[in-house]
């Protein structure tokens, strides 16, 4: 007995045969087939192995709900795990393997575990593997678990994202969805219709349906579908998306769709198309026409290959011209499954019997069945199956308790239908139990949404039959091997709430997400514990409706499109002059400029020495720059900074600290007073956007009466810093139109004028301890100016300086680097800024500075550090005094070898550090130790002569 292809019918293209392989054997299918239908047509009846017991499994379903046929499809980078064969469209050369078995689904070594089934019940692992230790067992359990394997090669496919807006989004293109789409479009609404299958029509493609009083079947159905598609096209802007599954329903009518753009083409997919596309749809109204999913019946042996859902048998027949076998028995508790018997017979199969659990099926249905010659056994149930491994006979128990055997190779079962309520549930709606129709259906809408058709309610009368007793395992969740006895065990062991049931037995948590099992399980739990299904509760369905690839969700967010990097105007110059560019606070900046054969450490030392002995040029363009102007600008800045700004004279610079309301230092920088009512505020690179944002927040939300304008200028101005003993002469060589003598242009002042003929704002401020000029120019002019400096300075030893040397120079001077020397707990008092406590005026964070914890004397305080016995003062190393044997008393915040001083220089946060000047601390570096002495912060030119010179 075998399953096979019919000579005619179906929606496959017999002119286009397609070769494919499964578990290493070659087969032929046709265009229009799914992998599942092609396998069934080739009489491949065992298509997978179950998760826990490695039981042989056949196709249960024909659609998205399929629990058994999980495939590893494709090769190399394109290898994809855990695809449902029922959703994989066949293409030429497709290679597939059943997951979780070896060497094949048919002959699986893992099946040696089957004799242990009786011990491996739900939750057995909670009760054992504790002695001597879980680790001993875990690795074997892990190996046994899991389904497919991810590719080991990078996924090179492209994934796109599309944002779409519409008046009405319709999910599902069955008779209800299609009619709704046409009606909405005719009404002038912008419509998006999405359909998970390759073609529109949903159930109309394989089942007769009544639409608007008109009975449609076969050719008439196809014509009706075509007419609706034409009507939609005529409406103009309706979007129809096939192979597109609605997977998520989020807040405010945001629905996420996944379109499988080229998956059905396999390796022949054209390069210009993405593999998948994620749609983010915002809909005025959502119409859920997602149909219904048939429930299996729970009886012993119901997982034997050959036992299928009744609708699936019909669908394989009508859509793919595949008859699932030769001899059919139908087992049902409703009228719908009778259609399968008739269809099977019409396709030349033998209908052995119809087993109806109802004592009195609907008269007309019964009549038609008997007229067709079916042996209908009413009031009976299937209570066992046999076959090796494919179904060959089954046992039926009638109302009187007598058993009969039937030989058959297909059992079409139907336990009724459950509306596909997943998206409704995701929208936040509650499900209600309909005790007449025996189904969970959508309750009241909580978003702008309506469920229609079978998704709202399935009207076929159905009789309760939730469990058939008998010998052998009766499966509820096929994919996770959860049987009726597991549910009984859960009930016995206190796991009675639906969530406990789910988590204890793993029911509904497999890749099929319980599409065929949830309702059966929780109604059964209700029966066992004397509760209505609605009282057992339903788990809330969650995104995604069907599993979605990581690639599709991530979209183009990979590499630099995941989080863009910023590049400076001089980026290309740096890149072509030996710079090693690294990310610092989101910007690509030169760490150092390597000369041929040079070690990075040597480069950093060379650059720093150049600054100390000649001059260096540093690209400081990412430095934050914010123009703050308006009549209240000075008052505002007085409150924004921990120190006073309003007393600053025009033309002068002042260093300042910014705090948050907790009194923690969040940024620092130099502020320039351009005019009475205009300031240029510099921030750290990392703080540029944040500080501008904070200023806006305080002005818009708190000090709303201030007349202040905040203009972030960071990326419109480039900054190059010329520093070193030869800086002044180089500046003069390049040409400057204002006096730059030490007294004419003193430290902490600025001038507006021209440098090398280019309009510039020049600040005399230093982060190196040498005479320094920060030259602010337009982005467009910076390259020319930089190159001129390099050209005229080469003979004097001018060198470009990277970040690492820059950090060395400022560490020698003991200058603060926010985020390195401070952290999220550092207050002004902790870095020697106790004087701000004298300010009477309120400022951000003022009150926090006198809280109990802020006044403690054992706070971490910033001190200088000098090595004892040549110790290396590396950042991150911890320190403690002689009295301390455990824990840390401090840590090195900045530390680096200084060629200028011939030793390491360092800064550290030390508990109560101010009062410990001169103390020698014990440093810890892994398992070794070193000594360092607390010293003044500034190690180089402490008098500041070079700075002011």
Partner 1 sequence: MKRYNAWNLLWQGLTGHRGWEPAWRSPAPKPRYDVIIIGGGGHGLACAYYLAKVHGITNVAVLERGWLGGGNTGRNTTIVRSNYYYPQSAALYDFSLRLFEGLSKELNYNVMFSQRGVMNVLHTRHDMEAGQRWVGAMNLNGIDAFMLTTEQVKQRIPLLNTAKDARYPVLGGFVQPRGGTARHDAVAWGYARAASALGVDVLQNCEVTGFKRSTEGRVIGVETNLGTIGADKVGMAVAGHSTVIAKLAGFRLPVSSYALQAFVSEPLKPVMDTVMTSFATGMYFSQSDKGGLVIGGGLDHYLSYAQRGNTPLLRHVIGAVADQLPSLGRVHLLRHWAGIVDVVHDSSPILGETPMPGLYINCGWGTGGFKGIPVGGWMLAHHIATGRAHDIAAPFALSRFSSGALIDEAAASGIAH
Partner 2 sequence: MLLLHCPWCGPRDEPEFVCGGQSHMVRPEPWHAVDEATWGHYLFTRDNPKGVHLERWHHAHGCRQWFNVARHTVTHEILAIYRMDEPVPNAVAGARA
Residues in 878-937 at the binding interface with partner 1, rule: CB under 8 A: 878, 880, 886-888, 891, 924-926
Binding partner selected for residue 50 from partner 2, partner 1, none, CB under the kind-specific 5 to 8 Å limit: none
Q: Which stretch binds partner 2 (CB under 8 A): 261-269, 344-352, 695-703, 893-901?
A: 695-703
- 463 class by beta-carbon count within 10 Å (0-12 exposed, 13-18 middle, 19+ buried): middle
Shortest CB 494 distance to partner 1, Å: 4
DSSP one-letter string for 631-679: TTHHHHHHHHBSS--TTPPTTBEEEEEEE-TTS-EEEEEEEEEEETTEE
Please give the full DSSP string across 68-124, using - where no structure is assigned: S-EEEESSGGG-EEEEETTTPBP-TTEEEEESS-SB-SSSBGGGGGGGGTTT--TTG
- Name the nearest CA neighbour of 60 among 528, 533, 520: 520
Q: Is 9 left (phi over 0), alpha (psi -120 to 50) or beta?
A: left
Q: Which residues, at least 6 apart from 856, have a Cβ–Cβ distance to it below 8 Å?
A: none
List the one residue from 402, 436, 494, 704 that touches partner 2 (CB under 8 A): 704
The nearest distance, CB 107 to partner 1, in angstroms, is: 19
Q: Does 851 bind partner 2 (CB under 8 A)?
A: yes
Q: By C-alpha distance, which of 304, 479, 296 is closest to 408? A: 304
Q: Does 253 bind partner 2 (CB under 8 A)?
A: yes
Closest C-alpha to 374, from 332, 414, 403, 417: 332
Q: What is the 3-state secondary structure (H, E, C) of 226-245?
A: HHHHHHHHHCCCCEEECCEE
Single residue of 76, 547, 693, 739 touching partner 2 by CB under 8 A: 693
Q: Which is nearer to partner 1, 557 or 595 (CB)?
A: 557
33, 587, 878 from 894: Cα distances, Å: 66, 21, 12
Other CB atoms within 10 A of residue 401 CB: 6
Picked from partner 2, partner 1, none, the partner binding residue 700 (CB below 5 to 8 A depending on kind) is partner 2
Q: What CA–CA distances, in Å, run from 124 to 127, 434, 486?
A: 5, 35, 10
Task: Report d(CA 350, CA 373) in Å as an integer.
Answer: 10
CA angle 212, 215, 217 (to 5 degrees): 130
Q: Please give the DSSP secondary-structure letter assigned to residue 915.
A: G
**464 vs 662, beta carbon nearer partner 1:** 662
Beta partners for 801?
618
Residues 255-284, interacting with partner 1 (CB under 8 A) = 256, 280
Contact flags string 523-552 toward partner 1, x per CB under 8 A = -----------------x-xxx--xxxxx-
Q: Is 567 in the site for partner 2 (CB under 8 A)?
A: no
Asked whether the bond before 288 is cis by omega within 30 degrees of 0, the reply is no
What is the pattern of x (binds partner 1, CB under 8 A) and - over residues 548-587? xxxx-xxx-xxxx-xx-x----------------xxx---
Q: Which is nearer to partner 1, 13 or 583 (CB)?
A: 583
Pick the closer one to partner 2 by CB: 311 or 447: 447
User: Among partner 1, partner 2, none, what does residue 53 contact (CB within 5–8 Å per kind)?
Assistant: none
Q: Which of 7, 8, 118, 363 binds partner 1 (CB under 8 A)?
A: 118
Selected from 504, 679, 745, 833, the binder of partner 1 by CB under 8 A is 504
Site for partner 1 in 405-464 (CB under 8 A): 426, 428
253 binds, among partner 1, partner 2, none (CB under 5 to 8 A by kind): partner 2
Among partner 2, partner 1, none, residue 647 binds (CB under 5-8 Å by kind): none
Write phi, then psi, for 874 (nearest 5 degrees).
-85, 140
Which region among 581-589, 774-782, 841-849, 895-903 touches partner 2 (by CB under 8 A)?
841-849
707 binds partner 2 (CB under 8 A): no
Nearest distance in Å: CB 234, partner 1: 34
Residue closer to partner 2 by CB (options 653, 695) is: 695
Does residue number 444 form part of the binding site for partner 2 (CB under 8 A)?
no
Q: Is 556 in the site for partner 2 (CB under 8 A)?
A: no
215 binds partner 1 (CB under 8 A): no
Structure tokens at 796: 């004097």
Where do the DSSP E strands lie in 310-438? 322-323, 327-332, 350-356, 376-378, 381-386, 393-397, 403-407, 410-414, 417-419, 431-434
Interface segment toward partner 1; rule CB under 8 A; list 79-87, 322-330, 636-644, 757-765: 79-87
Contact between 485 and partner 2 by CB under 8 A: the answer reads: no
Residue 121 found at the interface with partner 1 (CB under 8 A)? yes
Q: With respect to partner 1, which residue has the nearer C-beta, 414 or 894?
A: 894
Distance CA 795, CA 733 (A): 12
Name the segment binding partner 2 (CB under 8 A); options: 219-227, 309-317, 408-416, 692-700.
692-700
Q: Which CB sits closer to partner 2, 86 or 427?
A: 427
Sequence-separated (6 or more) residues with CB below 8 Å from residue 777: 717, 718, 720, 755, 758, 759, 760, 785
CB of 616 to partner 1, least distance (A): 20
Q: Give the Cα-Cα-Cα angle 771, 774, 780 (nearest 5 degrees).
A: 145
Instruction: For residues 318 and 313, give the distance between their C-alpha atoms in angstroms, rounded to a whole number.
Output: 9
Stretch that binds partner 2, among 144-152, 197-205, 366-374, 689-697 (CB under 8 A): 689-697
Other beta carbons within 10 Å of 838: 6
Which residues between 148 and 207 bind partner 1 (CB under 8 A)? 148-155, 157, 159
Given its phi and psi angles, is residue 291 left (phi above 0), alpha (psi -120 to 50 degrees) or beta? left
Pairing of strands 327-332, 350-356: parallel
* Beta carbons within 10 angstroms of residue 762's beta carbon: 23
Q: Which does 504 bind (CB under 5 to 8 A by kind): partner 2, partner 1, none?
A: partner 1
For residues 67 and 69, give the distance between their C-alpha atoms in angstroms, rounded to a whole number.
Answer: 6
- Using CB under 8 A as the binding rule, whether residue 446 contacts partner 2 is answered as yes
Task: State how far the alpha carbon of 457 is from the alpha carbons of 242, 452, 453, 930, in Å.
Answer: 24, 8, 7, 76
Distances from the Cα of 321 to the Cα of 198, 326, 345, angstroms: 17, 14, 13
C-beta of 550 vs 701, nearer to partner 2: 701
| CB atoms inside a 10 Å sphere around CB 115 | 8
The site string for partner 2 over 659-688 (x = CB under 8 A, - otherwise) reads --xx--------------------------
In this structure, how many other beta carbons lie within 10 angstroms of the beta carbon of residue 860? 23
Please report how close the Cβ of residue 847 comes to partner 2 at its closest, in angstroms: 4
Our finding on whether 110 is near partner 1 (CB under 8 A) is: no
SS3 371: helix
Q: Which of 137, 250, 706, 914: binder of partner 2 (CB under 8 A)?
A: 250
CA–CA separation, 855 and 254 (whole Å): 51
To partner 2, the closest distance from the beta carbon of 250 in angstroms equals 5
Among 471, 601, 835, 847, binds partner 2 (CB under 8 A): 847
Phi, psi of 536 (to 5 degrees): -65, -35
Of 231 and 662, nearer to partner 2 (C-beta) is: 662
Could you tell me the smallest distance in angstroms from the CB atom of residue 843 to partner 2? 9
Q: Using the rule CB under 8 A, which residue among 702, 737, 787, 858 binds partner 2? A: 702
Binding piece for partner 1, criterion CB under 8 A, among 299-307, 639-647, 662-670, 762-770: 662-670
8 contacts partner 2 (rule: CB under 8 A): no
Smallest gap from residue 590 Cβ to partner 1 (A): 13
**Closer residue to partner 1 (CB): 314 or 589:** 589
Pick what 696 binds: partner 2, partner 1, none; C-beta below 5 to 8 Å, kind-dependent: partner 2
The partner residues of 434 in beta bridges, in order of sequence, read 439
Which residues of this chain interact with partner 2, rule CB under 8 A?
A: 163, 250-254, 280, 282, 428, 446, 661-662, 693, 696-697, 700-702, 704, 842, 846-848, 851-852
């Amino acid at each position: 007995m075998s399953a096979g292809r019919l000579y005619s019918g179906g929606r496959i293209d017999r002119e286009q045969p397609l070769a494919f392989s499964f578990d290493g054997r070659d087969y032929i299918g046709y265009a229009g087939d799914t992998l599942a239908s092609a396998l069934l047509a080739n009489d491949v009846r065992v298509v997978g192995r179950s998760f826990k017991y490695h039981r042989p499994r056949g196709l249960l379903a024909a659609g998205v709900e399929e629990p058994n046929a999980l495939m590893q499809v494709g090769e190399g980078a394109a290898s994809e795990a855990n695809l449902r064969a029922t959703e994989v469209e066949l293409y030429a050369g497709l290679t597939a393997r059943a997951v979780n078995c070896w060497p094949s689904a048919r002959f699986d070594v893992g099946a040696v575990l089957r004799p242990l089934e009786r011990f491996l019940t739900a939750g057995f692992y909670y009760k054992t593997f504790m002695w001597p230790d879980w680790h001993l067992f875990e690795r074997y359990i892990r190996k046994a678990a899991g389904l497919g394997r991810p590719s080991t090669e990078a996924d090179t496919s492209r994934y796109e994202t599309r944002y779409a807006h519409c008046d009405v989004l319709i999910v599902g293109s069955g008779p209800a969805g299609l009619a709704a789409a046409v009606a909405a479009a005719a009404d002038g609404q912008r419509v998006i219709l999405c359909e998970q299958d390759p073609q529109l029509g949903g159930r109309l493609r394989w089942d007769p349906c009544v639409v608007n009083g008109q009975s449609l079947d076969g050719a008439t159905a196809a014509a009706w579908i075509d007419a609706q598609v034409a009507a939609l096209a005529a409406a103009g802007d309706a979007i129809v998306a096939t192979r597109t599954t609605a997977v998520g329903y989020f807040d405010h009518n945001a629905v996420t769709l996944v379109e499988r753009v080229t998956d059905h083409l396999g390796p022949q997919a054209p390069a210009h198309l993405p593999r998948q596309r994620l749609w983010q749809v915002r809909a005025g109204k959502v119409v859920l026409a997602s149909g219904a999913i048939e429930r299996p019946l729970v009886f012993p042996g119901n997982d034997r290959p050959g036992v299928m859902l009744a609708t699936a048998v019909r669908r394989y027949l009508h859509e793919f011209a595949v008859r699932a076998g030769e001899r059919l028995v139908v087992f049902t508790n409703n009228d719908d499954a009778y259609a399968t018997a008739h269809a099977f017979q019409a396709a030349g199969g033998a209908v052995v019997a119809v087993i109806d659990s109802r004592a009195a099926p609907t008269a007309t249905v019964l009549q038609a069945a008997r007229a067709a010659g079916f042996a209908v056994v009413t009031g009976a149930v299937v209570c066992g199956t046999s076959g090796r491994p494919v179904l060959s006979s089954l046992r039926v128990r009638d109302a009187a308790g007598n058993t009969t055997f039937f030989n058959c190779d297909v059992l079409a079962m139907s336990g009724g239908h459950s509306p596909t309520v997943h998206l409704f549930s995701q929208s936040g709606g509650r499900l209600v139990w309909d005790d007449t129709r025996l189904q969970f259906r959508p309750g009241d809408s909580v978003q702008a949404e309506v469920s229609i058709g079978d998704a709202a309610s399935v009207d076929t009368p159905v009789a309760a039959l939730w469990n058939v007793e008998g010998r052998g395992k009766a499966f509820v969740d096929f994919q996770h091997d959860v049987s009726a006895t597991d549910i009984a065990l859960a009930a016995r062991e206190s796991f009675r709430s639906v969530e406990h049931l789910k988590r204890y037995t793993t029911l509904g948590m497999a890749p099929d997400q319980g599409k065929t099992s949830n309702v059966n399980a929780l109604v059964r739990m209700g029966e066992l514990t004397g509760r209505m299904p609605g009282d057992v509760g339903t788990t809330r369905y969650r995104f995604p409706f069907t599993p979605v690839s990581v690639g599709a969700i991530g979209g183009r967010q990979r590499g630099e499109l995941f989080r863009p990097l910023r590049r400076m105007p001089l980026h290309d110059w740096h890149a072509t002059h030996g710079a090693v560019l690294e990310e610092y606070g989101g910007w690509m900046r030169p760490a150092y400029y390597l000369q041929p054969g040079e070690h990075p450490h040597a480069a950093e030392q060379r650059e720093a020495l150049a600054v100390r002995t000649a001059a260096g040029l540093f690209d400081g363009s990412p430095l934050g720059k914010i123009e703050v102007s308006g009549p209240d600008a000075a008052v505002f800045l007085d409150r924004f900074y921990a120190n006073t700004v309003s007393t600053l004279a025009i033309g002068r610079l002042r260093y300042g600290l910014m705090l948050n309301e907790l009194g923690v230092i969040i940024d620092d920088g130099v502020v320039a007073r351009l005019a009475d009512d205009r300031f240029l505020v510099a921030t750290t690179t990392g703080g540029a956007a944040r500080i501008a944002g904070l200023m806006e927040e305080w002005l818009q939300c708190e000090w709303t009466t201030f007349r202040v304008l905040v203009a972030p200028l960071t990326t419109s101005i480039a900054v190059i810093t010329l520093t070193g003993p030869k800086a002044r002469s180089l500046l003069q060589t390049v040409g400057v139109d204002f006096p730059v003598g030490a007294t004419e242009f003193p430290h902490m002042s600025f001038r507006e004028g021209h440098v090398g003929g280019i309009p510039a704002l020049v600040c005399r401020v230093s982060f190196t301890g040498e005479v320094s000029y920060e030259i602010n120019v337009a982005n467009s002019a910076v390259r020319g100016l930089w190159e001129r400096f390099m050209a005229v300075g080469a003979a004097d030893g001018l060198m470009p300086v990277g970040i690492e040397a820059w950090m060395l120079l400022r560490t020698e001077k003991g200058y603060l680097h926010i985020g390195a020397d401070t952290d999220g707990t550092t207050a002004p008092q902790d870095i020697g800024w106790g004087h701000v406590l004298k300010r009477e005026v309120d400022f951000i964070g003022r009150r926090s500075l006198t809280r109990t914890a802020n006044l403690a004397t054992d706070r971490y305080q910033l001190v200088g550090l000098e090595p004892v016995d040549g110790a290396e003062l590396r950042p991150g190393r911890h320190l403690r005094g002689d009295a301390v044997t455990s824990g840390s008393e401090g840590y090195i915040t900045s530390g680096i070898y200084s060629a200028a001083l011939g030793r390491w220089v360092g800064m550290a946060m030390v508990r109560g550090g101010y009062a410990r000047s001169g103390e020698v601390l014990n440093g810890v570096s892994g398992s070794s130790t070193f000594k360092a002495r607390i010293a003044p912060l500034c190690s180089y030119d402490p008098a500041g002569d070079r700075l002011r010179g």
